[in-house]
Amino acid sequence: MRPALAILLILLAIAVISGQAIQNPVTIRSATISIDENGTISISKGEFRSIEINLSIPSSTPYQKVQVNDKVNTDAEGNQFITISSKSPTNPFVYSKRMLVETSARTTKSLPSNYVVDSHLLKYLVATNRTQSGKAEIRQIAEEITANSSDPFEKVARLAIFVNGYVQYNKGMVGQEKDALWVLKNKQGVCTEYSTLFAALARAAGIPTRYVVGYAYDNEQNSWVGHLWNEAYIGEWVPVDSTWMEVGWLDAMHIEVSKGRELSDESNLVAYVTRQDGVLEWETSAKSGAYADNIYLLDAKPGTPIDDFEIKAVKGKLAPGEETIIFLSMKGEDYRVVSATLHSCVGDELKVASPKKQFLIMRPAATSVAVWEVKASPNVSKNYIYTCPLVISSPYFDERRVEVQIDPQLSESPSFQAALSQENIVLGQKANITLSLPYSRIGENFYIISESGVSSKQATAPAFSLSFSPAGPGKRAVYVAGEKGGFKKLTYFGSFSPGKIRIDKFEMPSGAVAGVKSKAVLSVSSANYPSDISVRFSFGGIEEEKKARINAKTEFEFEFLPEKTGSFEASASVKSSDGSEDSRKQFVYIEAQPRLLIVKKSIKKTSDGRLQVVFSFKPAGNLVSPEIKIGGISQPADKEATFVLTKGVYLAQLSWKDQFGNSYLQEEEIEVSEPLFPQVFEEPGSTAPSLCATSLAVALLLVAVAIPRR
């Protein structure tokens, strides 16, 4: 029994707090609430002889404590109720009961990786006249929505996200309580219709689901309302409010009264009357979706907003027509669904291509990512720099602002290419994305953005790769975006196990040189040996096929001769006789062959009569370890090399490597003669340096000899 003084304090607190509005119920982690359960029972003809009411009261749970001055009973579902009875009731009969409820937010910190649905839970899988989970159209949609979910929580989250976006809230439907097929067809309703459609879809997906009847605070109406939501069993009961998108997490402004496999049609009222032709009416405090003016908030404590997240525009200053990515990366503390909405600036200068409202399916210690694609308008005035403030809002964290500028004086960066090394990726393994870049974008950071994380890497070559972990099974998306602008959206298919035939390795050189043979290596394995396979390799429009019967993991080599410079896609595929197949691809950048040219030669006579010859060089392309060798003596050929020689004709050997390890050797004859007077022989570079150098030396020598005769 509650002391009279405590009741008085409650009444005083009600007068102070009940008029306060809660701006964001999701943030409330605990609350103290007073509920007046009242109603009126009347009969149109005759009088009452006796009345007995079984009145549901809020449940006592680990997240909800209830104090009431009556004996509490429990039904077969575990719901609590009190009994109100009268042997000589008046007509109308009015009752009122007050109770104190202390609530705390529900969190789901952990879920079992494996669980069994016990027999007593099977009733929550049964279809009913309202919850038509056995109907073909319900089952088909449930299967499509949950296909390729990585775990049961993702199934529940996807279903709730679907219902939340599919059903339009229509408060004029309060009390109509339509069934799931009606909601599926008409796409409207209040919390009853949202919960009914979710329950039908979840049961169709094999997830035990029940209804929860209670109250919740509606911040748009600044009022308590009768409310209906669900619980889904995925190893434990998880709250699901698809109306207000609280999944796994439920704020403390939800008051749970009763739960069951169906909305109960059983009467909680027994009345004995003097006439049988009388009409019995029972008016209670609230219906689902309707105002509940019998609830008073005494105290509410907000929780701490989520702050472990990053919001970033990959490029903050765009040229007209340029695209970039804005991402939200958040680390989870528990199981829940976090909604986030991107609010763009007024006007058409920056367009958001993605849905503005995104949902992050969070798990403890795991990262989840939302992505928005944005594009600057190509038709902006050249006289202004546009600054667009982008605001990302969510019930779960404080608003964050990101600014993107559109500068007409900037030029759009050259585009790049990106390709997944493989489209079918085994979960738990790393996958590669190869990029092909123009030289102007080497040194730039490129971001790889998937559902499960964000990473970046600096480009060090025209063709390089990034790696990521697949987010889950089924068809998924991954983005590659450059900090100088532009992005590529790629799709892959995640699977729990590799196919029957697979390419375990596809090795291509990081780069190659035009006119120099290069090699690709494939490693192929099969789930069943022996296996008859066909392996194909293609590059630059040329395709080669090899057929073999393999009895173990086998390597195949393919030689190819690049003919042109630039970026080209190399692909490999394998197909077995039973129809199984796998493929890989990546970009290879082909460079021109590097050259080393002698562009200057000067000769001086030393004091001992020998000749000092200084060679100057001009490299073309990317050379590694250039050398010049004359008379058995080698010297680096970086800029200049000096040799002391006697008069005569020498064979100069120029050698170097390219960045891929290919070696080059060029030989040419060098004539060394005594200068008649101090002179310098200039030899311009050429694609045939040995011929030009010899011809020019002879020409200059003839001129030098002819001058004294004039």
Q: Name the residue among 74, 108, 96 with its Cα closest to residue 259.
A: 74
Q: Which structure tokens are listed for 637? A: 């050929």
Q: Which amino acid is at 311?
A: I
Q: Which structure tokens are listed for 645? A: 């020689």
Task: Give ∠ CA 153-156-162 in degrees, rounded to 5.
Answer: 140
**Under 8 Å between Cβ of 410 and 382:** no
Q: Which pLDDT score, from 0 to 100, does residue 241 have?
A: 98
Three-class DSSP category at 287: coil
Q: Which pLDDT score, from 0 to 100, does residue 278 have?
A: 87
Half-sphere exposure of 697 (CA within 13 A, CB side): 20
Q: Which structure tokens are listed for 522? A: 């494939």
Q: Which pLDDT score, from 0 to 100, does residue 429 have?
A: 86
Q: For 525-615, where are the alpha helices, taking DSSP H only?
A: none
Q: Which pLDDT score, from 0 to 100, does residue 288 have?
A: 56
**Under 8 Å between Cβ of 159 and 167:** no
Place of tokens 């952990």: 110
**Under 8 Å between Cβ of 406 and 383:** no
Q: Which pLDDT score, from 0 to 100, does residue 267 have?
A: 58
Q: Which pLDDT score, from 0 to 100, does residue 34 have?
A: 95
How far are the Cα atoms of 37, 69, 80, 86, 90 from residue 96, in angstroms, in the given order?
A: 6, 12, 17, 13, 14
Model pTM score: 0.80
Kind plus residue range of the DSSP H or E element containing 707 = none
Q: Which pLDDT score, from 0 to 100, does residue 555 have?
A: 95
Q: Which pLDDT score, from 0 to 100, does residue 192 have?
A: 96
698 CB contacts (<8 Å, ≥6 apart)? 671
Three-class DSSP category at 285: coil
How far are the Cα atoms of 19, 252, 330, 554 from residue 28, in angstroms, in the given order?
A: 17, 6, 21, 61
Report CA Rg, the chain.
Answer: 39
Three-class DSSP category at 507: strand
Please state, in angstroms and rounded to a whole number, the distance separating the CA atoms of residues 517 and 590: 11
Residues of the chain with pLDDT under 50: 1-19, 679-710
Q: What share of the chain is helix, strand, coil (3-state, %, to 5)?
A: 15, 50, 35
Bridge-based pairing state of the strands 487-495 and 424-426: parallel
**Under 8 Å between Cβ of 198 and 160:** yes
Place of tokens 């590799």: 498
- Walk me through the domains of the chain, giving residue ranges and CATH numbers: 4-106+267-302 (no CATH), 119-254 (3.10.620.30), 306-412 (2.60.40.10), 414-495 (2.60.40.1930), 501-591 (2.60.40.10), 595-709 (2.60.40.10)
Q: Which pLDDT score, from 0 to 100, does residue 708 have?
A: 30
The string of DSSP codes covering 46-103 is S-EEEEEEEEE-PPPBTTEEEEESS--EE-TTS-EEEEEEESS--SSEEEEEEEEEEE
Q: Which amino acid is at 134?
A: G
Please state, in angstroms and rounded to a whole number, the distance separating the CA atoms of residues 252 and 17: 16
